[in-house]
Amino acid sequence: MKQQHKAKKLTQDKKLCAILNMAAAFFSFFSMIYVANNTKVGTGYEYYYIIPLIYFIYTIVLRKNNFTKFESSGTLVLSYTLLIKYAILPLVLCMGNYGSWLGIYPTDDLINKAIFLMALEEISILIVYWLLTKKKEKTTPTTKHNIEIKPIKNTIIFKVLILASILLIAIVPELISDQRFIIDNTDLATNIVVDFEYSGILKTIIIFARYTLILLIINHLYKKHQKNKKIIYIILCILVVLINSLFTSNLSRINILVPLVTFMSVMLAVFNDKNEKKIIIRSIAIIILIGISITSFMKFFGEGRGNINNNNVRWWGDTINMYFSGPKETAIGIRSDDIVVAKNINRGKLLINDFFSNVIGVSNLTSRDNNSLTVYNFSYFGNNQTKCQIPPNIIEGYLYFGYALAFIWPIIFVYLCFYFDKQRERTDKIDMYFAFNYASIYCGLVLMINSSMIVSNIINVSLLYIILSIINSKIATNRKI
């Protein structure tokens, strides 16, 4: 019966994915036609229709998208960001006449150059995505995640870490001064920077302990659920994840999204009942929509980036453009290469500074003045007073390797997204499952965040979890002996 149920669910998932794939194809086709017919020649955007055209061809010919497999959260996130950037964004930008409300607008020539660089990025990512999906589909059933997740038995090392974190907060409360409760009535849009000696390491310990606490609660409720299949344990897990999402660092949407999606995947792995899975998916989806909407409203309108009258297509078009590294963001990044040349910045050192700038223990060895974030924001605003804009990965690749080889950088993270997802499928430990899924999701956000954010979260959180999981296993083994 279990095998029949899994086979039926697989068929239903394939049908739903096929329907969503056709919807994506239809939307990208409409986007292409609209952009081609409503973009004026000489604006720099006259070839922008190529972007949705490439995506349309991909969805019709190759048809490999993960729109329904919520357990594979990394590829799920990647699939939807591909859809937004390459099909939805062109339509919205064109409907808003490619208006902009932030930063020094690039020249038409740079916009044109950026579109072709985006096309190169799109083609390379979609090809790699297709190849890795085909490879994954050929994987034998024994390596797919039909493995039952085992709860953590030895939690002593995690509990010590949580207690140490509580002690750190008691001694140095400033470490959590940037954590905001999203429904309080303070000025939530104001950024609070926590920057003093060893603050990076100490904050990482606290973030790690916070995720660990949530994971241990889910672990405890999972063990209870194994003995008594009551829905209350599912509801309690969702409530714990919800409470965690109400606290975020300076209203960061990424810091809300990633833990929510990661813990959703963990819950889907441990609670196997069909109805339980529906409750989890629907609850987390609602939390994500409400949470992202609230924080985005507070962030933009609270910072003065907009007002109620800016509720129009042009404003939202440029906002989505910033989040998904559209043509303007890419063009500004191309322009930033002039700063690299003018300052004679070594491109190899630039890569190293970007790679390790937020990694625990080594970030102090990097230069904050000679990294892509600084260079990009100088190009964006014409000064060094703010560093709020994130350089796209394709631009970091452009600064490291040049125009023709820029695509190498983002496809590395696409590959890692699938690699970590494969490791997730093979593990039977809840903590390792969390670690691999967390890393996969961050890699799946390759079109929204830069390499520094991806690498630091993989090393500071996922790698640390893997190490502690291995130590835990050895302790448990020694106790048995």
Q: H/E/C letters for each residue in 406-431?
A: CCHHHHHHHHHHHHHHHHHHHCCEHH
DSSP state of 143: G
- Structural domain contains residue 137: yes
Cα separation, 9 vs 149, whole angstroms: 19
- Structural domain contains residue 464: no
- Structural domain contains residue 28: yes
Phi/psi zone of residue 139: left (φ > 0), alpha (ψ -120 to 50 degrees), beta?
Answer: beta
**pLDDT at residue 207 in the model:** 85
Parent domain of 117: 2-143
- Structural domain contains residue 123: yes
**pLDDT at residue 300 in the model:** 57
Domain count of the chain?
1
pTM for the structure as a whole: 0.89
Cα separation, 151 vs 428, whole angstroms: 9
E strand residue ranges, 124-246: 179-181
Greatest C-alpha distance within the chain: 76
SS3 label, residue 201: helix
Q: Enumerate residue ranges in the chain where pLDDT < 50.
A: 1-2, 140-145, 185, 188, 304, 306-309
- Structural domain contains residue 96: yes
- Structural domain contains residue 24: yes
Cα separation, 125 vs 122, whole angstroms: 5
Cα separation, 113 vs 181, whole angstroms: 42
Q: Which residues of 53-69 are buried (b: 16+ CB within 10 A; e: fewer)?
A: bbbbbbbeebebbbbbb
DSSP state of 310: G
Give the torsion through C-alpha atoms of 82, 245, 69, 430, to 10 deg. 130
- Structural domain contains residue 111: yes
**pLDDT at residue 310 in the model:** 52
E strand residue ranges, 42-196: 179-181
**pLDDT at residue 481 in the model:** 54
- Structural domain contains residue 448: no
**pLDDT at residue 142 in the model:** 43
**pLDDT at residue 178 in the model:** 65
Q: Are strands 179-181 and 247-249 parallel, antiparallel or unpaired?
A: antiparallel
